[in-house]
Structure 1
């Protein structure tokens, strides 16, 4: 059996905190982010962008960047909105969400830009 690893995520160290599925992996590059957006579009999910300050990422409230992009299928437009959110809030974490309107839940959520931690 393989060894279980402690990721040493602590409230006292904002830079160590883990959140969302992909935060335990190396950061996604632009091509990998594009593939995730393509997956969201392929599944017919509605993309949305949210952001929050790093010190508040563990709270339940993230700020919505505009409204969810209901029915949007243009990958470049979705990526442009995520980039615009990041540029407007450079110190915040920015996450991309794919809302599954059939299950009325999030089909996926991932942080694609990490803000500066103290």
Structure 2
């Protein structure tokens, strides 16, 4: 049974839903702002699940109370990197530490080649598995052309 028939990268909230519209994104941003979360816009061309260090577009938005500011930064990031993965991340600092409370993709490349599952045989009957992005074999600036 195929659980992801579209073959899309599934990271963060809303991964298995259709793409969010800008209106729906704005509602999610406002939801986070109403709870005191600080938003950031991040982008990458390597969406491997263990790649948690994406590039940040602009600065984290700690003092915003209106979703329009985050949407403006998102619009600029989409214009600069239209063919990369872009996500919004909300940080909750209410307990004195910054932890991610929300994170979801808001932009994808037109073509998402996906990941290969590689198996390695180890001593005994042990099998080890890892994933490798098909696009990772190309230079950083040419992965999604």
Q: Do they superpose with TM above 0.5?
A: yes
Structure with more helix by fraction: 1
Match of 2:123 in 1: none
Whether contact under 8 Å (2:43, 2:55) holds in the other structure is yes
The 1-side partners of 2:22 and 2:8 are apart by 23
The 2-side partners of 1:27 and 1:19 are apart by 13
Determine which structure has more spread, i.e. the larger CA radius of gyration: 2
- Determine helix, strand or coil for the equivalent of 2:59: coil
1:23 shift after superposition: 1.4
The 2-side partners of 1:75 and 1:101 are apart by 18
**Gaps (5+ residues) in structure 1?**
10-14
Structure number with the bigger relative contact order (C-alpha 8 A, sep ≥ 6) is: 1
Match of 2:102 in 1: 108
Q: What do you get for the CA RMSD once the two structures are aligned?
A: 1.9
The 2-side partners of 1:41 and 1:106 are apart by 13
Which TM-score applies when normalising by structure 1?
0.81
Which TM-score applies when normalising by structure 2?
0.67
**Gaps (5+ residues) in structure 2?**
114-145
The 1-side partners of 2:56 and 2:80 are apart by 13
User: Which of 49, 69, 72 is residue 80 of structure 1 equivalent to?
Assistant: 72
Distance 1:116 1:43, change over 3 A: same
